[in-house]
Amino acid sequence: MSYHGRYTWSHPLGEEVIAHNDGAVSLYIEWAGLDVWLADDTERAAKWNRFYRVLSRVGVEYTIEWHLWREYDPSVAINYYQYGEQNMLRGQEIGRAVRQAMVEHLAASAMSNTVGIVLTRLPAATGLGGRKRRLVKQAQLAQELRAQGAAVAKILGGEVRPWTDYLARIEQSYDRPAYAKRRLHEREGVPFDPLFQINEQIIREKPARDGEFLKLGDTYTKCLFLFLYPHADPAFFLGLAGLPCEMHVSHIVKPLHTRLAMRAADRSERYTGNLVGDSGQDYAFHKIRDLAGFKQFVVSNSLDIYDNAYLIHLHGSKDLVEATAEEITNWIEDNQGQVRSADYMQLPFFRYGQPGQGYKAPVMRRDHSWQVGNMLPVQVDDRGEEPESLRLSTSGQLTGFSVTRQKIPHGFTVAMTGGGKGVDTVATIAESYPCGTDWYIMEIGGSYQWIVEGFGGRYIPVDPNEHGVNPLPAFSMAKPITGDDPDALPLDARLAGGTTSALALVLSGGRMSLDQHQEAAAEMALQMMYAAPDLSREAPVLPDYLQELRGATYFDNDAQAKAAQNMADNLESFLSTAQGRAFSGKDNLVLSKGICAVDLKPVLAVNKDLIRFYLVFLSLKLSHLAFLPPVIRRGSCSMSLLSTFNMLLTLSAALLHAVTHGPERECRVTTR
């Protein structure tokens, strides 16, 4: 027999099915896989229920192969670079250089996992009859297979793909040189001539054996067969999912009649019990105990039984493949499993691992639903969002991040000193600022000076003897009040609420929050200051706010009026202190719109108590800048970066609330 004749792919049968030359039919289901790196044990167990459902859904007339392909994949890096070219509106010189460097640095290490299922309807006995009868029967099986495939795809949220996609997966798994050439030249589809069978066209040559390796072209392949399984919890494959080597994993599963399988176990138990001799008695005791325990476990948990085989094909250079095979073997055997990869096994187990050939595998082991289901190779990694920023995960997956589209407006970057927090954030600024994201930064130290000044922004070391800070919004942020809406307020409610919340430190006499009467009175007085703005000035100052609180007579009840007077007393006392006088006048700290940063290290050197107020008032001032419409275009956002998290916690955990709960609109706060 020719070598290609050992493979059974024959010809397409309809739009999805491939017919086999022994009467079997198969199809390919594509689905998204699961990303469970961050899921806990309870979440993983819940997600794995659908895999048990799929296994129980497939009858004994089928074989279901669960495939995973791990390949080098720079596609996210390409999208990232193209996104920058299409969206950079300013700072292109720095932005383009950073994106180019990121692509060159990360793309060569990028790998992605994709998954798919091949469902095979086993050939049916046709009895006596000619070729026509066999073809009619095969067509009937194909129709049955399509219905079963659609049911499996529905459970997994996938779809049955055309046979051409199936053919592409066959080439990817078998002919690595041809697959690599097709990817390099971006050729769509695998050439197919209906005058020849699929196996004749795919199997161009027999892989050459080189010890425990196979070789096609310049690519080495090594086949690993898991002979003994370790105990597997859901997401077992996570231990293999991030290895830095191209691989193809095929978990071949054949459902069995559970009752018949249990009877076979009974016969094996009786046979084992008849063994004689001292060593035989010892062996028999352990074998009977294991069989009895297995049967009891299956019955107690209402599980099904499957024959299955777990094959791993590693591809690449000889040294890389050998090192990866050793790592996998050590991990499996450290967990009480066993891996086999002898030279005589390479060709047959390479063949049985190909898509649609698993039903021919002669060597399988028998396991229950949970063991089989928990080992399924289904782990894929999240590719992230539209790639404004590009990062490489610990599993080798390139991931896109988007600061403008993140669902939660606050974020933290946590790492040890020297762990790269500043480097990561500078990279994010260099990636996002050219595309329209404004950045307003407060730090202790000089980590961000070069990137701010590089983009033309102002970087200001704050000198408490020179720089005064006015925490109140500019008059230009107020909306004109007309008679059309008597309930309209000049300041956006979020802006007013955020401002008074941040001022709680001075309004409440040192506490970090206001009670409900204080909150209502503080917001009402703030709104009234902007009802008739003094356009000769840029903004009101804290003494104006004190005067408004002191003279207000428009509150809804006595409790609010009393709260206003109490807050006025606290504010007046604060403004009378040496610390408060630095915040009693107008601004002489000029910040640039779009990107700017202030460094509080000089304040810390002069007065550690004073820094509390600078943190709050500067955070408020930066938030006011961020609250304005973005400089470049509508749809962008503003980021307030507080590179002082450890200092905030040192001073007071409550202070963090005041700093991070200022006004928000298109403003997002990130802290490191």
* Mean of all residue pLDDT scores within the chain: 86
SS3 at position 78: helix
Taking the CA atoms of 100, 103, 104 and 106 in sequence, report the sign of the dihedral they define. positive
Measured CA to CA in angstroms, residue 106 lies from 51, 100, 110, 398, 420 at distances of 34, 10, 6, 8, 16
Q: Indicate the helix (H) or strand (E) that contains 440.
A: strand 438-443
Spatial CB neighbours of 46, under 8 Å, sequence gap ≥ 6: none
Rounded CA separation 608/491 (Å) = 33
Determine phi and psi for 373, rounding to 5 degrees.
Answer: -60, -40
Phi, psi values for residue 21, rounded to 5°: -75, 0
Q: Give 222-233 pLDDT, tens digit per residue.
A: 999 999 999 999
- Cβ atoms of 380 and 113 within 8 Å: the answer is yes
pLDDT digit string, tens, across residues 251-299: 999 999 866 665 555 554 444 444 444 444 444 444 445 556 777 788 7
Domain limits, the chain: 3-73+110-256+304-374, 258-302
Report residue 617 as tokens: 């008032």
| C-alpha closest to that of 364 among 310, 295, 313 | 310
pTM: predicted TM-score of the whole model, two decimal places: 0.82
Please tell me the distance from the alpha carbon of residue 12 to that of residue 197, in angstroms, as a whole number: 9
Per-residue model confidence (pLDDT) at position 653:
46
Of the listed ranges 54-58, 460-464, 476-480, the one predicted with least confidence: 476-480
The per-residue pLDDT for range 141-167, each reduced to its tens digit, is: 999 999 999 999 999 999 999 999 999
Query: Rounded distance, CA 329 to CA 340, Å?
Result: 8
* CA atoms of 104 and 552, how far apart (whole Å): 63
Q: Mapped to the 3 state alphabet, what secondary structure does 379-417 carry?
A: ECCCCECCCCEEEECCCCCEEEECCCCCCCCEEECCCCC
What confidence category does residue 324 fall into, taking pLDDT thresholds of 50, 70 and 90?
Answer: very high
Phi, psi for 250 (deg, rounded to 5): -130, 115
Tokens of 587: 């601004």
Contact 318, 249 (CB under 8 A): no
pLDDT at 534: 83
DSSP reduced 3-state for 621: helix
Residue 514: which of 479, 449, 560 has the closest Cα? 560
In contact, 567 and 523? CB cutoff 8 Å: no
Confidence bin at 409 (pLDDT 50/70/90): low
Based on C-alpha coordinates, what's the Rg of the chain?
A: 34
Q: Which of 14, 360, 32 is nearest to 164 (CA)?
A: 14
Q: Amino acid identity of 438?
A: D
pLDDT in tens, 66-113: 999 999 999 999 999 999 999 999 999 999 999 999 999 999 999 999
**pLDDT of 582-591, one tens digit each?**
788 777 888 8
Whole-number percent of the chain with pLDDT over 90: 57
- With tokens 């022994």, the residue in question is 22
Average pLDDT rounded to a whole number, residues 23-32:
96
The per-residue pLDDT for range 339-396, each reduced to its tens digit, is 999 999 999 999 999 999 999 999 999 999 999 999 999 999 998 888 889 999 989 9
| DSSP at 601 | H
Instruction: State yes or no: pLDDT of 515 exceeds 50.
Output: yes
DSSP reduced 3-state for 635: coil
**Could you report the per-residue pLDDT of 532-586, keeping only the tens digit for each?**
888 888 889 999 999 999 999 888 899 999 999 999 999 999 999 888 887 887 7
pLDDT at 536: 86
Q: What is the C-alpha separation between 292 and 440, in angstroms, rounded?
A: 68
Contact, 393 vs 48, CB < 8 A?
A: no
| Other CB atoms within 10 A of residue 649 CB | 11
Q: Are 582 and 611 in contact (CB under 8 A)?
A: no
Do residues 304 and 368 lie in contact, with contact meaning Cβ atoms separated by under 8 Å?
yes
113 closest CA partner among 297, 252, 14, 248? 248
DSSP string, 183-222: HHTT--S----TTS-HHHHH--SPPEEETTEEEETTEEEE
Contact predicate 202/7, CB 8 Å: yes
Phi and psi based region of residue 138 (left: phi greater than 0; alpha: psi -120 to 50; beta: remaining): alpha
CB 504 within 8 A of CB 519: no
